[in-house]
Amino acid sequence: MHHYPASFPLDPRRFPGDYDGLPFAEDAGMWLKTETGAVADVTAEDLQRLVASEDVGVFAQLFASQTRFIQAGMEVAGPRRNAFLREQGCAPWVLQYGYGEAFPQQMFQAAEVVTFEQVRQVFLAFLAGDEAWRRQFTWGELPQLSKPWRRFW
């Protein structure tokens, strides 16, 4: 398992957000939050229609609850971004997830950067309740934050 330093590629100052206003409830569907807005009761069709630069901006978060979520942010600088751009022809994205009520501040990050299409496929699997996406990547635990994670995004 990888452990990442306190400074990881997604800069929390770039992803403002306060999710206290989102109506999380037991019977509610999942919520999609991007730089351009929020979508309630997200469907697979909603996720299929997303276009990285136009609809998402630089981040996307899919919530099943306040503590069970998956999120992705565009890696904004550095040699890994430049190499990915040369090799893949598109911007790299960083995947993270928080998964559980017992440890709400525990988060994990994929060691690899991915394409937006890979982000979409992971979001679709998460939406469908398919856990296979967790086995597709090497995950490292991020340092725990002193405040709830959602305050930083």
Record the pTM: 0.77
Closest by CA to 76, choosing from 98, 51, 94, is 94
- Alpha helices, DSSP H only, in 52-153? 79-88, 116-128
How confident is the prediction along the chain (153 residues), in pLDDT tens digits per residue? Answer: 332 332 233 333 333 344 444 554 455 689 998 888 888 899 999 999 887 765 567 889 999 987 889 999 988 788 989 999 999 999 999 999 987 777 767 889 999 999 999 999 999 999 999 999 999 999 999 887 554 444 333
Burial of 110 (0-12, 13-18, 19+ CB in 10 A): buried
Number of structural domains the chain divides into: 1
Question: Domain of 123?
Answer: 2-152
Phi, psi of 55 (to 5 degrees): -95, -25
